[in-house]
Amino acid sequence: MQYLHTMVRVSDLEASLHFYCDLLGLEEVRRKESEKGRFTLVFLAAPADEARSTELQAPELELTWNWDPETYTGGRNFGHLAYRVADIYALCERLQSGGVTINRPPRDGHMAFVRSPDGISVELLQEGEPQAPQEPWASMENEGSW
C-alpha cells in the first residue's frame, strides 16, 4: 500500500492557490482540466516532496475545483492537513501578513493551526525540536476554531 494524495474541494481556485502556494509554500506539480466533467484538478506537493511527486505522483494534495458553483460544508469534519515546517514563526508571520488568521498560534514554538479559504484546518509542526517561545506568538490567544 502507498499513500497517494488527499483531495479537498475548493470554491475559489485562485484564492486556494494563493493560500497553499504563495503563503503556505506548496508547489503546483501538475494540473488537469476536464471540459466534459466541468472541473479542474490541481496537484500540489511540499518542496521536500516535489521529486517524489514527479516520480510517483505522491505524496500530494489535490485541489478539486468544480466549475459550477457549490457550497461546501464540513471542513471541520474533515480533520486537518499537517505539514512539517523549517521555521514555524517565519511561516506564521508570512501567513498572517497575507491575511490568514492564525487560529492556534505557535505559543510553544512547535505547533500552529490555520484555515484555508474553504475552512480546511491546516496543522503546522516545527521540524526537529520546538523553537524557544517568542513574542508576539507566546502571548497570542486562540482565535476561532481549528
**pLDDT at residue 1 in the model:** 65
Q: Which residue has the higher pLDDT, 83 or 73?
A: 83
C-alpha 57 chain-centroid distance = 18
* Domains of the chain with bracketed CATH: 5-66 (3.10.180.10), 75-138 (3.10.180.10)
Catalytic-role residue among 33, 123, 129, 141: 123
Q: What is the mean pLDDT of residues 4-31?
A: 95
Kindly give, in sequence order, each residue whose CB lies less than 8 Å from that of residue 113, ignoring residues fewer than 6 positions away.
80, 102, 103, 104, 121, 122, 123, 124, 146
123 catalytic residue (yes or no)? yes
Q: What is the mean pLDDT of residues 19-24?
A: 97
**pLDDT at residue 76 in the model:** 60
